[in-house]
């Protein structure tokens, strides 16, 4: 048995003692060392692209070097497990894509009450019946509820609409009726006539309103006559006629 083992060892010794085999073994050794260092450099570059930490790339390369050329394969597998799953460029692209999606979502109008996507031409949300917009009474365009004036025609929604002097709300047909300044029965008759005849045109100037109003009625005559002076019992004195003598 010992002779067999000695024969095998002698055969291996002769094989490895060959110059060609020695050259091949040296080449393999150099290749393994080169691959070990290249793996450490690759870990450094890969970690630099995956993190903004300036120390992390050196730690990754040091992990490969510590495991020596014999066990560096295991360190490479460990690094592949622990490294970040995406590079800095990929993270930036993903963030930009998310921001673009958020911008697209924000561009689409949503109901403030129920959150449903609504169309720009809708006045009321069909889901919760929440009012979305309103119509400008001047130009008929759709305006937002928080606008203080119309952006299309300039109508001010916060300023009250001035009414002409001596006017009141419409009594029939949607137009205001003129009430005379004198008041009283004349005003009541004018208001009743406006109600029966339909819409009444509103004068544009105060002078026209004053001209259209009837003059105030004169003061009524007192019913009781003024008291008379008492007459003496013998009657009034006789009036003298003729000439007077001296």
More confident residue, 165 or 20: 20
Say if residues 132 and 122 touch (Cβ distance below 8 Å).
Answer: yes
Q: How confident is the model at residue 238 (pLDDT cuts 50, 70, 90)?
A: very low
Residue 62 and residue 78: Cα distance in Å, rounded? 13
Residue 152 and residue 137: Cα distance in Å, rounded? 12
pLDDT at residue 16, rounded to an integer: 72
Of 19-23, 31-35, 111-115, 185-189, least confident by mean pLDDT is 185-189
pLDDT at residue 160, rounded to an integer: 65
- Looking at every residue in the chain, the average pLDDT score rounds to 74
pTM score: 0.43
Q: How confident is the model at residue 245 (pLDDT cuts 50, 70, 90)?
A: very low
pLDDT tens for 160-205 read 656 555 555 544 444 444 444 444 455 556 555 554 444 444 444 4
Say if residues 213 and 181 touch (Cβ distance below 8 Å).
Answer: yes
Helix, strand or coil, per DSSP, at residue 144: strand
Say if residues 150 and 138 touch (Cβ distance below 8 Å).
Answer: yes
* DSSP label at residue 69: H
Residue 175 and residue 153: Cα distance in Å, rounded? 24
pLDDT tens for 117-163 read 888 888 889 899 888 888 888 898 888 888 888 988 988 887 665 65
The secondary structure element, H or E, covering residue 171 is strand 167-172
């Amino acid at each position: 048995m010992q002779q067999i083992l000695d024969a095998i060892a002698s055969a291996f010794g002769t094989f490895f003692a060959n110059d060609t085999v020695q050259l091949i073994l040296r080449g393999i050794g150099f290749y393994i060392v080169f691959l070990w260092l290249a793996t450490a450099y690759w870990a450094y570059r890969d970690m630099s692209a995956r993190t903004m930490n300036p120390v992390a790339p050196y730690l990754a390369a040091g992990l490969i070097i510590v495991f020596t050329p014999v066990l560096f394969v295991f360190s490479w597998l460990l690094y592949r497990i622990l490294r970040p799953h995406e590079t800095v460029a990929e993270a930036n692209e993903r963030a930009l894509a998310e921001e673009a999606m958020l911008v697209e979502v924000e561009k689409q109008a949503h109901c403030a009450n129920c959150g449903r996507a609504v169309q720009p031409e809708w006045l009321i949300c069909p889901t919760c019946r929440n009012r979305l917009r309103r119509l400008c009474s001047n130009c008929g365009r759709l305006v937002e509820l928080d606008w203080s004036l119309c952006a299309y025609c300039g109508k001010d929604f916060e300023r009250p609409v001035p009414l002409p002097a001596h006017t009141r709300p419409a009594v029939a047909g949607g137009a205001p009726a003129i009430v005379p300044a004198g008041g009283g029965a004349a005003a009541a008759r004018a208001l009743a006539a406006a109600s029966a005849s339909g819409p009444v045109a509103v004068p544009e100037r105060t002078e026209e309103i004053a001209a259209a109003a009837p003059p105030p009625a004169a003061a009524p005559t007192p019913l009781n006559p003024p008291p008379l002076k008492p007459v003496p019992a013998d009657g009034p004195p006789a009036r003298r006629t003729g000439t007077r003598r001296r």
